[in-house]
Amino acid sequence: MGVLWQPDLFSARGEVAVDAEFRTGRWTPLDARSWVEVVPGWLAGANELFQRLAEAVPWQAHYRWLFRQRFLEPRLTAEYRQLADAPHPALVVAADALSEHYGVRYDNLWLNLYRGGEDSTGWHRDRFSCRRPECIVPVLTLGATRRFLLKPRAGGPSIAFHPSAGDLVVMGGRCQEEWVHSVPKAPGTMGARISVNFQSSEQARRPRPDGATS
Ligand SMILES: O=C(O)CCC(=O)C(=O)O
């Protein structure tokens, strides 16, 4: 895959590892029931992991339907339904650390490759991977820094985050019910970005009417 990779010249090429203590985490309430936690530099060795994923993942383009029109999604994606099939062992370690920290079992992965500033994802919420009233959705950034926006589903100004390589953005509470998120186009951006969405089959199941969780 010939994506442009622009490593941070100041970070040493090294082992991929996560901060299991989430020491740099900054938790921000969005409203009374929704929140975001940003964990700068959560993953060390982000450049190494980016390069391995850019090369090893079978990235695919997909057509989507929007307002009855079929369009080619402006990014490439890949899905790993079993964590055991993850394309790099560090992603299993990362999923386990997230599961331990947030009390949600992350057992599958959704990866996005934004080849450059013309790639993007529009406003959406994670309806299919989050069918519980409250969910916790961690998104790890590798590669280029892009804007990650959140805005209330009912309307209102957006809030911008600028996750860089190795940073984690975690959407929690009723974020997938009452907020939408996007990664807008960024003409002039040099380099590609990969985002790793840690998903949970528990969160993708509707709660049972009797209140049981499985
Ligand atoms: O790339 C990102 O940071 C967000 C990805 C996303 O929202 C999605 O794939 O549903």
Contacts of 210 (CB under 8 A, 6+ apart): none
- The answer, yes or no, to whether residue 163 has pLDDT greater than 80, is yes
Name the residue among 104, 102, 76 with its Cα closest to residue 199. Answer: 104
Within a domain: residue 146?
A: yes
Within a domain: residue 213?
A: no
- How confident is the model at residue 144, as a pLDDT? 98
- Domain holding 108: CATH number? 2.60.120.590
Within a domain: residue 206?
A: no
**Cβ pair 142, 171 in contact under 8 A:** no
Q: Residue whose CA is closest, atom 2 of ligand 1?
A: 195
- Amino acid letter, 74: P
User: Strand, coil or helix: what is 165?
Assistant: coil
205 Ramachandran zone, left/alpha/beta (phi>0; psi -120 to 50)? beta
Q: Which domain holds residue 87?
A: 25-201
pTM score, whole prediction: 0.92
Q: Which two tokens stand for residue 178?
A: 């009452």
- How confident is the model at residue 87, as a pLDDT? 97
Q: How many domains does the chain have?
A: 1
**Buried residues in 67-94 as b, exposed as e (16+ CB within 10 A):** eeeeeebebbbbebeebeebbbebbebb
pLDDT band at 135 (very low <50, low <70, confident <90, very high): very high
What is the C-alpha separation between 149 and 196, in angstroms, rounded? 16
Longest dimension (CA), the chain: 55
What is the C-alpha separation between 146 and 189, in angstroms, rounded? 8
Q: Residue whose CA is closest, atom 9 of ligand 1?
A: 112
> HSE on the CB side for 81, CA within 13 Å?
0
Closest atom of ligand 1 relative to the 141 alpha carbon: 3
Q: Residue whose CA is closest, atom 10 of ligand 1?
A: 126
pLDDT band at 6 (very low <50, low <70, confident <90, very high): very low
- How confident is the model at residue 179, as a pLDDT? 98
179 forms beta bridges with 152
- How confident is the model at residue 65, as a pLDDT? 86
Locus of tokens 């019910």: 177
Say how many Å lie between the CA of residue 23 and the centre of ligand 1: 24
- The answer, yes or no, to whether residue 187 has pLDDT greater than 70, is yes
With a pLDDT cut of 90, the percent of the chain lying above it is 85
What are the distances in angstroms from CA 37 to CA 22, 32, 85, 120?
10, 15, 27, 22
Within a domain: residue 5?
A: no
Within a domain: residue 137?
A: yes
Ligand 1, pocket residues at CB < 6 Å: 110, 112, 121, 126, 139, 148, 181, 183, 195, 197
Within a domain: residue 17?
A: no
- The answer, yes or no, to whether residue 1 has pLDDT greater than 60, is no
